[in-house]
Amino acid sequence: MPDVILSLIDSKSLDSILSMSVGTIAEGMESRTLRRIRPESSEGVIRQFDVDLEGEILEWIDSVGDIDSDEVLEKLEISLDKKVDLLLLLCHWSSVGEWRCWDARLFLYVEPSLDTGVTSTESFLLPRIWGDFSVNVSSLDRSSFIESVVIDWMSRREDLGEPMDPSSDPRILPTMESHQNLSGGLFDLIEKSRMNDLPILLGREYLESRSWHLGMERLENMIG
């Protein structure tokens, strides 16, 4: 099952790096000097490593061949798909933290807090789902949200006739702990987004770059 990825983006950092020429970006990634202006990671969340993103960005630059390195990304005369591929990488560079989860597990963590049901995992790639979720959990504290997730999970197990006694199923306690950790991490990320006005970059593993969203807007519409 692929991971759905929610990443908190520092808009000022993204605007800053998008205003640089592609040549300046390449030089900064190769010399590692752009690490100095990458936003600080948010406490308690992870994000992609500097060195991994530097390598991917330099690979992108090698892959596009002969370009005018004095131009900014938006003005390069290359395909839209290529532009959006770099835009996505630069969004990850501007991230202060991200949260990942198997898409099927989101029915446990997200659906109970929505006013309407979710028909498929594809729905979790829609920004409005996360906007509604953010509004609805804003009235909860972290402990209450985690508790609601665990209670809902236990109720679903009971409905399926699954045992709830750890002696009957040794996986119950580790699974419960996993749900607690993941739901707590999700609550923290959504709260940071809301409190600090950080837009969410939304996508999934193996999803083409043009189909990712930043806030309510698809990446392909930001650079097209």
For the chain, give every domain's residue range. 3-223
Residue 197 Ramachandran class (φ > 0 left, ψ -120 to 50 alpha, else beta) = left
Instruction: For residue 48, give the DSSP letter.
Output: -
Phi, psi at residue 147, to the nearest 5°?
-60, -40
pLDDT of residue 187: 97
Task: Give SS3 for 213.
Answer: strand
Tokens of 221: 């519409």
pLDDT of residue 220: 95
Count CB atoms within 10 A of the CB of residue 145. Answer: 21
Comparing C-alpha atoms, which of 197, 198, 223 is closest to residue 210?
223
Tell me how far CA of residue 193 lies from CA of 69, 91, 123, 138, 207, in angstroms. Answer: 34, 15, 20, 11, 23
User: Is the pTM of the predicted complex or chain greater than 0.85?
Assistant: yes
Find residue 46's DSSP bridge partners.
98
Give the CA dihedral 62, 66, 68, 74, nearest 10 degrees: -60
Low-confidence ranges of the chain (pLDDT < 70): 1, 163-169, 224
Distance of CA 2 to the CA centre of its chain: 13
Find the angle CA(160)-CA(164)-CA(165) to the nearest 5 degrees: 145
Tell me how far apart the alpha carbons of residues 168 and 152 are, in angstroms, rounded to a whole number. Answer: 20
pLDDT digits (tens, 9 = 90+) for 127-141: 999 999 999 999 999
pLDDT of residue 69: 92
pLDDT of residue 44: 80
pLDDT of residue 164: 64
pLDDT of residue 167: 63
- Side chain identity at residue 112, one-letter code: P
Find residue 72's DSSP bridge partners.
21
Tell me how far apart the alpha carbons of residues 201 and 88 are, in angstroms, rounded to a whole number. Answer: 9
pLDDT digits (tens, 9 = 90+) for 27-39: 999 999 999 999 9
Count CB atoms within 10 A of the CB of residue 68. Answer: 13
pLDDT of residue 6: 98
Contact 116, 137 (CB under 8 A): no
Residue 215 Ramachandran class (φ > 0 left, ψ -120 to 50 alpha, else beta) = left
Comparing C-alpha atoms, which of 180, 45, 163, 54 is closest to residue 109?
180
